[in-house]
Amino acid sequence: MESKNLQSGETSPNSIIAKKTLLALRGIPGSGKTTLAKTLSLSNGAPIFSIDSYFENELGEYTFEFQKNHIAYKECESKTKEALEEGIPFVIVDNTFTLDWELKPYERLANEFGYLFFVVTVENRHGGKNIHQIPEEQIEKMKAKYRVIL
């Protein structure tokens, strides 16, 4: 992998500038966000924060409670903020982020703590299944609202 030396304009594989990064993985349920997050974390030890984590017990069993969804959002955001405050170099947030406003708090946090902010949309090209029993009609509604900024 080559990078450009910002001072001299030269390209050198040894001139990569390390920068703290907040990575937001987004996609509809079943797209593979969690699998990708775990794969990335295995390679670099990055913590993963997700709204889904709030609804999992110690055994990893998932029980969604809609009336607590706002608490799960706040907890995910709070844990992400703590990681950025600690200066952890690479942090992953794994949520559906189907609406732009859901990404805004993370973009603000990245700016506040001097992190690069990347948003990666995970596509379901592998035939993944939604493991959270979200009805297909709800997933179709999520797809209809989903916007990608290029």
In this predicted structure, the answer to whether residue 119 has a pLDDT above a threshold of 70 is yes
What is the DSSP code string of 73-129? HHHHHHHHHHHHHHT-SEEEEE----SHHHHHHHHHHHHHHT-EEEEEEPP--S---
Secondary element (H or E) of residue 52 = helix 51-54
Tokens standing for 43? 């390679």
The pLDDT tens digits of the residues spanning 40-70 come to: 999 999 999 999 889 888 888 888 888 898 9
Q: Whole-angstrom Cα distance, residue 89 to residue 47?
A: 10
Contact 25, 139 (CB under 8 A): no
Whole-model pTM: value is 0.80
